Amino acid sequence: MKFCVVDAFAARPFAGNPAAVVPLDRDMSDAMRQAIAAEFNHAETAFTQARADGRFDLCWFTPTREVPLCGHATQAAAHALWEMGLAKRAAPIRFMTRESGELICVPRGERSIQMDFPATAAAPAALPENAAKVLGVNCPVSVVGTTAMNLTLRLASAEDVRRCTPDLRELSKWHPTGVTVTAPGDEAGVDFVSRFFAPQSGVPEDPVTGSAHCTLAPYWASVLGKTTFVARQLSKRGGELAVELHGSRVHLIGQAVTTMRGDLLL
């Protein structure tokens, strides 16, 4: 089977968030998918399989578990299917997922991909004990809320987000999937920034996290009074994406670059 590695939310190689993409040409057990994801050892590996109705089944595995939603690996999967000639480049790709319903990817402009995801407003949550100490920051920490994908916390400034050095062992106790920290942007044209830590999912820090922005979009819309944003994730690799809130849906827009192609010898 063919595979490729795609840097998502990136305009150049070795930036953004890498994801392996495996377009399946046969049925495969979840145990085998998990083993392949562990072998790639990226934050997520996306598995696609064509359906008779023209749509594609899609699921995502970290090195240690399946996850219900992953933004960057969805973008990577669409990019890979178009580039490998497995889907028509001018047409939207409709992915069917196990827990997140239908996700649609559409070419936007010359190089960008727009993803249509569900908006997931955060539910109230308690502030974890010793939050500032565990995050390694010297600033107030407040709770945005929790979803199935993450606990979202707000820090005082973008610089606090940059300097965050969490105790990953303690942080892993806060939420079963991951923790997002966010703050207003401090650069011209950037509305908000974030970072995402998921040691409990085998991902100490995710370079760019599309699914986190499904919660960040409605939150920052309520704070800033707008529905269109430029967001930046302040990981070492870094990534930037346009975010648009459309009622109960979020559009995530960015570029992707293929860096590797090969064969799985199974």
Angle made by CA atoms 81, 6, 75, in degrees to the nearest 5: 60
Cβ pair 249, 232 in contact under 8 A: no
pLDDT in tens, 175-196: 999 999 999 999 999 999 999 9
Q: Rounded to two decimals, what is the model's pTM?
A: 0.91
| 66 tagged catalytic | no
Nearest to 72 by CA among 12, 152, 118, 6: 6
pLDDT at 111: 84
Local confidence band at 89 (pLDDT 50, 70, 90 cut-offs): confident
Domain range list for the chain: 2-115+252-263, 131-247
Question: What would the DSSP string read from start to end of 190-222?
Answer: --EEEEEEEGGGTEEEES--TTTHHHHHHHHHH
Is it true that 2-115+252-263 and 131-247 share their CATH fold? yes
- Please state the rounded mean pLDDT for residues 47-69: 96
pLDDT at 153: 98
Cβ pair 250, 217 in contact under 8 A: yes
Q: Please give the Cα distance from 238 to 62 (Å, whole number).
A: 19
Local confidence band at 261 (pLDDT 50, 70, 90 cut-offs): very high
CATH class assigned to 131-247: alpha beta
CB atoms within 10 A of CB 187: 9
pLDDT in tens, 122-180: 999 999 999 999 999 999 999 999 999 999 999 999 999 999 999 999 999 999 999 99
Amino acid in the structure at residue 131: A
At the fourth CATH level, the homologous superfamily of domain 2-115+252-263 is Diaminopimelate Epimerase; Chain A, domain 1 (3.10.310.10)
The partner residues of 143 in beta bridges, in order of sequence, read 153
Q: Please give the Cα distance from 222 to 216 (Å, whole number).
A: 10
Q: Where are the alpha helices (DSSP H) in 96-212?
A: 131-135, 158-163, 168-171
User: Annotated catalytic residue: which of 39, 44, 102, 159?
Assistant: 44
Asked if pLDDT for residue 90 goes beyond 90, the answer is no
- Please state the rounded mean pLDDT for residues 243-251: 97
